[in-house]
Amino acid sequence: MSQFGKVAVLMGGASAEREVSLMSGGGVLKALLSRGVDAHAFDPAQRALCELKQQGFARCFIALHGRFGEDGTVQGALELMGIPYTGSGVMASSISMDKIMTKRIWHFEDLPTPQWCRVTSVAQTRAAYAELGGPMIVKPAHEGSTIGLTRVDSLDQCESAYLLAARHDPAVLCEQFIAGDEVTCPLLGPTNTPQALPLIRIKAPGGNYDYQNKYFNDDTQYLVPAGLPDGEEEAIAALACKAYQVLGCRGWARADVMIDAVTRQPYLLEINTSPGMTGHSLVPMSARAVGISYEDLCIRLLEHTDLDSGVAA
């Protein structure tokens, strides 16, 4: 493992997903150390990024989630310092973090995604509800882990839903709700030839896959194999690969998809370019289904830093 040199596992950070990032980073650090990698925890909220160069780190495993870690900012700083890193580059990270821009690109590329409106006021949220109909999802455009998200079932809920989302982001997304199966598709590899790992179908208590049910509730069911009708998993995997390609993602990502219960049409919701690596996280769960251990997954992602970051080791 000396080929990797001194490795920084970036975790924590200053986003609303700091708690989850610390759990992800802790798991990655333990896995890398178990394989003999010279890995060290590095929290950008507590240390200046320039210390990475000063202290001789050869590459970074990005286990940051949300802003200032998944949005291209850290990636840009690492590019300037010439330090290879895991995951997507500056542009793909920035676009993928912006749910509205992601949907615009997918729409332009004729990839199915629920109808949406960008709103900046309560009045616009009410107008969006009148246009999209109910139920409707209201969420911040630049957050993850369902932070600030509300399902709106009546016009009366629009104000509280908008105000909650706007506390996290001035740009708020109103999105058509798709009733049906919720699945996610992890992806590994370069932009042009990604590998889709097995789909996971998610069954959360009450159909509410919120922050608590994602990370702290053992009642959520994760089905691998997903148990979808013949041909659906292959079609969704192909759709996820296309979504990954048009955004320019690389290294790894996870595409979230809803399947309309009546038409069985899959709709892309968003793509995560620094997915969770906690005990409840979906990428390692999917990888295990095809014989890739958590430790092997971490090593594989680290191996791709030289190829994917665009800078020399």
Which residues does the annotation mark as catalytic? 17, 145, 215, 254, 256, 270, 272, 276
Cα maximum dimension of the chain? 60
Phi (first) and psi of residue 121, to 5 degrees: -160, 165
Q: Residues 181, 207: contact at Cβ < 8 Å?
A: no
Structure tokens at 68: 């200032």
Q: Which residue, chain included where needed, has tokens 């925890």?
A: 41
Which bin fits 50, alpha (ψ -120 to 50), beta or left (φ > 0)?
A: alpha
- Give the C-alpha separation, 30 to 50, whole Å: 24
Question: Number of C-alpha atoms within 13 angstroms, CB side, residue 61?
Answer: 34
Strand, helix or coil for residue 183? strand
Contact 235, 261 (CB under 8 A): no
**236-242, Cβ contacts within 8 angstroms, sequence gap of 24 or more:** 236/183, 236/185, 236/199, 236/266, 237/185, 237/196, 237/199, 238/196, 239/111, 239/112, 239/266, 239/268, 240/185, 240/187, 240/196, 240/268, 241/187, 241/194, 241/196, 242/109, 242/111
248 — alpha (psi -120 to 50), left (phi > 0) or beta? left
- Residues 16, 34: Cα–Cα separation, whole Å: 29
Cα separation, 274 vs 243, in Å, equals: 15
